Structures are given as C-alpha cells and as structure tokens.
Amino acid sequence: MSDTNQSKNACELILALDIEDRADALDLLEKAGPELRWAKIGLQMFTKYGPDYVRQIADLGVNVFLDLKLHDIPNTVAKAVESVGKLPIQMLTIHTCGGKEMMEWAVKAQENINPNLQLLGVTVLTSMDQSSLDLLGIQQTPADRVAQLASLAKDAGMSGLVCSTHEVQTLRAAFGNHFTLVTPGVRPTGSAAGDQKRIMTPAQAREVGSNFIVVGRPIYGAEDPAAVVASINAELQR
Ligand code: C5P
C-alpha cells in the first residue's frame, strides 16, 4: 500500500472511477492492471452503492480516494469523517468554504479515527468562474479566493488540497511543500480534453509540483486502459 506522506516531488496517478455500474467499475480496475495504485470514488457511486462498494474496491488492492466534498456544520462533518474514516480509504475531501472551525473539527476527527487518512480541502470548484463568485456576493477573483481558502485550510491544520494544475505554482510559492496537492484536469498528449478547459499533461503537472494527478476519461474510455496507465506512469517517472 502506498501512503500520502511521500516525497513532495513524486507524482502518482489516481484513476477517477466515474463509472455508472459497479460491475463495469470492477472490470475496469481489472483491465487497468497492477500498475494502477489509486482509484477515486465520487458522490455518484458512493450514493448509489455505499460503503460496501468502497470495501470492494479496496479489496482489489488499490488505494481509495473518497471524493465526498463534505460541507456542513462542524459537528456533522466531524461525525461524517468518523464514519467514513473507518473505511479502507487513504484520501477524503471536504470543502474549505465550510470554514475554519469545520475544518478543525474534521482534522480532529480524522486524527482520532484514522491518522493515516489524508484529508484534502476543495477550494473553488473549477466549474465556478468570476461571474459565479459575483452571484454569490464574493468580491474576489477565483485566484484570490483559492489563496485565501488555502491559507484558512493551513491555519485549520489541513495538509492537502485539490486544485487545478494552474494553481499549483502559486500555492507552492505561498505555502512551500506544506500541502499535498492533488490535481484533476490532466490529459496525456493526444487525448481529448472533453469538458476540461485548462489542461496539462502528466509531465507538466509533475513539473509544476503536483503530488497526485486525477485522470478519468482518457483511461476508462480507452481500448486498452492498462496501456494508458503504463504510459502515464512512465511519463510521471521520467
Ligand atoms: O474524466 P476526467 O479526467 O476529466 O475526470 C476528472 C475527475 O476529476 C472527475 O472525477 C471530476 O469530477 C474531478 N474533478 C475535476 N475538477 C475539479 C475537481 C474534481 O475534474 N476541480
């Protein structure tokens, strides 16, 4: 098993398991082969199949990133972290905009229930732009908002963030190697961008300082997922 306290310069691949059907997801993991060490389970599959599905994926020998983006009052989030923290998972997301107290309670619950679990803070969703922030009455640019929420996360004891590859350099400049940074929006050279707008290749993501890249469609949409995993891993290790 891998852990998230790796050297800050190493970069590992996480497969986004955005697959509608449990059997298809298990089939994909088999096809992806032993080189795949991490899988991300999101809200769609967790709300459909629940904790048993998480255990089933973990039983296949991959590390699980449970992407639930928790956001509620501090007590409720802490209780949710306690519940899912008992599952065989290595990463869990919470929303930093839930506030400092919410994050502090989440960190405390995580430390009590599963000291090896990496909590990751989500800052500004990449689906939100300046006009979305304006509509919420937030008078900051998305970049300033990310920096402010990251600072709050650090003060609350958080040590990981999910962010765009294009935010990594700014976050590294401001916070050094404090955070484990996990970045979606990565595309191997030659694969379709889909709805991802500002993409980087795996090598570029590692170069700017990502610790983990999340890739979905280029792997699960491929004829030979194991070949794509192998080529991404080769690129990350070059
Ligand atoms: O298929 P694709 O590689 O675009 O999948 C990326 C994964 O990362 C999806 O599960 C998506 O929900 C997630 N994600 C993202 N952008 C964020 C946060 C999460 O694309 N800002």
Q: What is the dihedral of CA 80, 61, 222, 6, to 10 degrees?
A: 70
b or e along 72-89 (b: 16 or more beta carbons within 10 Å of the residue's beta carbon)? Answer: eebeebbebbbebbebeb
pLDDT surpassing 70 at residue 3: no
Centroid of ligand 1 to alpha carbon of 2 (angstroms): 22
The residue extents of the domains of the chain are 14-237
Q: What is the pLDDT of residues 208-238, one digit of tens each?
A: 999 999 999 999 999 999 999 999 999 999 8
Q: Among residues 136, 127, 172, 130, which one has the least CA distance to residue 154?
A: 172
Best substitution site from 17, 18, 91, 167 to test ligand 1's pocket, by max atoms within 8 Å of Cβ? 18
The two tokens of residue 26 are 């298990």
pTM: 0.94
Output the CATH code of domain 14-237: 3.20.20.70
Centroid of ligand 1 to alpha carbon of 87 (angstroms): 23
Taken as a whole, the chain contains a residue count of 238
Centroid of ligand 1 to alpha carbon of 127 (angstroms): 10
Identify whether the C-beta of residue 91 lies closer than 8 Å to the C-beta of residue 69. no
For 157, which DSSP code? T
Best substitution site from 214, 219, 220 to test ligand 1's pocket, by max atoms within 8 Å of Cβ? 214
- CB-side exposure of 147: number of CA atoms within 13 Å? 13
Residue 192: predicted pLDDT: 86
Average pLDDT value for residue range 166-195: 93
190-to-10, 53, 186 alpha-carbon distances in Å: 24, 33, 12
pLDDT surpassing 70 at residue 7: no
End-to-end CA gap in the chain: 22
Catalytic site includes residue 8:
no
Please, which pLDDT band fits residue 88 given cuts at 50, 70 and 90?
Answer: very high
Ligand 1 binding pocket (C-beta < 6 A) is 16, 18, 42, 125-126, 162, 184-185, 194, 196, 214-217
From 8, 40, 48, 69, the catalytic residue: 69
Give phi and psi for 225, each to the nearest 5.
Answer: -55, -35
Least confident span in 26-40, 93-107, 180-194: 180-194
Beta pairing class for 91-95 and 118-122: parallel
Centroid of ligand 1 to alpha carbon of 155 (angstroms): 26
Determine which residue's CA is closest to atom 20 belonging to ligand 1: 184
Beta-carbon contacts of 61 under 8 Å, excluding residues fewer than 6 positions away, are 34
